[in-house]
Every structure is written in structure tokens, then in C-alpha cells.
Amino acid sequence: MPIGLVPFPCCRIYCGANPYKVGCRNCLWLIQESPKALVKQFFENTAVSYEKIVNLTTFGRDSYWKREVIKKIPKCSSILDLACGTGILTFKIAEKFPDTKITGVDITESFLNVARKKLKPNHKISFLLDDAEKIDLTTKFDCITSSYIPKYCIPNILIEKCLNHLNSGGKIIFHDFTYPQNTVVKGLWSLYFVILKIFGRLIPNWKDVFENLPKLVKLSNWVDDYGNIMKRNGLQVEIQNLTLRSSAILTGTKKI
Ligand SMILES: C[S@@+](CC[C@H](N)C(=O)[O-])C[C@H]1O[C@@H](n2cnc3c(N)ncnc32)[C@H](O)[C@@H]1O
């Protein structure tokens, strides 16, 4: 049985397929430890349309959430943007801090290719193809940001990597979707994803994302998981809930 999957008795009835198949559309919720298996499935063929889709499907909230992330970044000389994707957040950070050296890391080459095409000579940005859970860079950074990475990674591994690459006094700023708490909002949230799932049938490259993302968000308890590990490592933790608690920003500051 692949690592990260647990058997579920109804699975064969539920999907009629191999119950342990990684990324099986209906069995996704069996994935307990390794949602990373979904990264390839979600991002292999979505780079070119990514920016339009994320803006459209979040009703422009993604831009607002990223502005809130940027508000938390102190003036500093180096920033590491993990899972930078096509560089939406990376370039927005560069706009606000044109003199700061920024390194964007992503595991998906096609996303980095889109990001690299947007580079201009005045940018102090470099993009690296790497797995955030395996990075081993020779430099440390004053700030580490990431929009949408937490739910795909194993918290203690990612935090350890971040701490190894963070200067003292530095900040880790993570943003991602969260499953709302309020019953009415939960209902609206679920309805929204049902609509998105139907809409997804019209865009084949996004079908798997629209079907599986809600399950992944529901399963993830990333704010508590990462927050607790940050606290255990002596970081000062702050949480900002956004847009009816459908997303959140978790900030951890390393002591000097
Ligand atoms: C939803 S996109 C977000 C991109 C960008 N941060 C943004 O906000 O627009 C998620 C990105 O995370 C990347 N990713 C997922 N797991 C990763 C990992 N372990 N290391 C590096 N990148 C990862 C994917 O390749 C993808 O580009």
C-alpha cells in the first residue's frame, strides 16, 4: 500500500476503483499524510491558465489575500517565496520592495516558466526549481512567504526547512485556504464548490482541481498544525482569518 494512504472499507463501493490509487478522484480523502501526491495532478497542465482561473474562482479575493500577506512583510534585504508558482505573489512583493533580493522556489517547471517570462532586467528575483520540503540553500533569508503551500506539505518537515533558511528575527508568513467554521458559511462554501465542479467539466485541465480541492481543504488543519510546530520552536505566532474564515494567514516570528 502506498505510503500516506489508509484503507477505507467503503472505498471499493464508493469509487469502484483501486482503493489505494494515489489521487483517485473519489478516494482522495483517504490521503492522510501525503496530499503532495496531488501536486502533480493539480499543476501539471494548469500553469498557462492559472492566473486567470485563480482570480476568477476567488472573485478577486486572491489579490486581496496577497495584499494582506504583503502588509505583514517587514522591510528586509532577502525574501524566499516558497511554491511561488507563476510568481503572482513574488512580483507583487518585488513591486513593494524593489531593492530586496527575492528567491522564488517551485516544484513545477511549467509554473516557473510562466514566472520567468515576466522577469524584467530591474527585477532582483531568481526562480529555482526545487521541492520546498527538500531545499538546501546556502543562504538564509529575512522573510519566508508562501501562498497556498501549507496544505500540500508535511508541517514539521516544511517548518524545519524554513527555520534552517531563516535569519534570527525573521518571519515566516503562510497563507492558504481554510474550511469555514460557521454552519451557514460552510453551506455556502460547499455549494460554491458544487458549482465549481460543474463548471470544471468545461475546462478539462481544471476538472481534478475543482473536484479535489474542497476535500483537501476540509481535511487540512494547517493553521493549527503549523502554528503549534512554530510555537514549539519558540516562534511568536499570529493568525489572521480572512473572508468569512475561508482563508487565513499564519505568521511566525523567530526570536533574535
Ligand atoms: C496554487 S499554486 C500557488 C502559486 C503561488 N504561490 C500563488 O499564490 O499564486 C500552488 C503551487 O505550489 C507548488 N508546490 C506544491 N508543493 C510544493 C513543494 N513541496 N515545493 C515547491 N512547490 C510546491 C505547485 O507547483 C504550485 O505551483
Give the HSE-up count for residue 236: Cα atoms under 13 Å, Cβ half-sphere: 8
Residues with CB under 6 A from ligand 1: 39, 43, 83-85, 88-89, 105-108, 111, 131-133, 147-149, 152-153
192 contacts 203 by C-beta, under 8 angstroms? no
Q: Please give the CATH architecture assigned to the domain spanning 50-179+219-253.
A: 3-Layer(aba) Sandwich (3.40)
Which residue out of 50, 64, 84 has the highest number of ligand 1 atoms within 8 Å of its CB and is therefore the one to mutate?
84
pLDDT by position in tens, the chain (length 256):
343 444 443 333 333 344 444 444 444 444 444 688 889 989 999 999 999 999 999 999 999 999 999 999 999 999 999 999 999 999 999 999 999 999 999 999 999 999 999 999 999 999 999 999 999 999 999 999 999 999 999 999 999 999 999 999 999 999 999 999 999 999 999 999 999 989 888 899 999 899 889 989 998 999 999 999 999 999 999 999 999 999 999 999 998 8
Which residue out of 107, 161, 209 has the highest number of ligand 1 atoms within 8 Å of its CB and is therefore the one to mutate?
107
143 SS3 class: strand
| Cα–Cα dist 74/86, whole Å | 23
* Residue 100: all three cell numbers together: 530586496
Ordered by start, the domain boundaries in the chain are: 1-34, 50-179+219-253
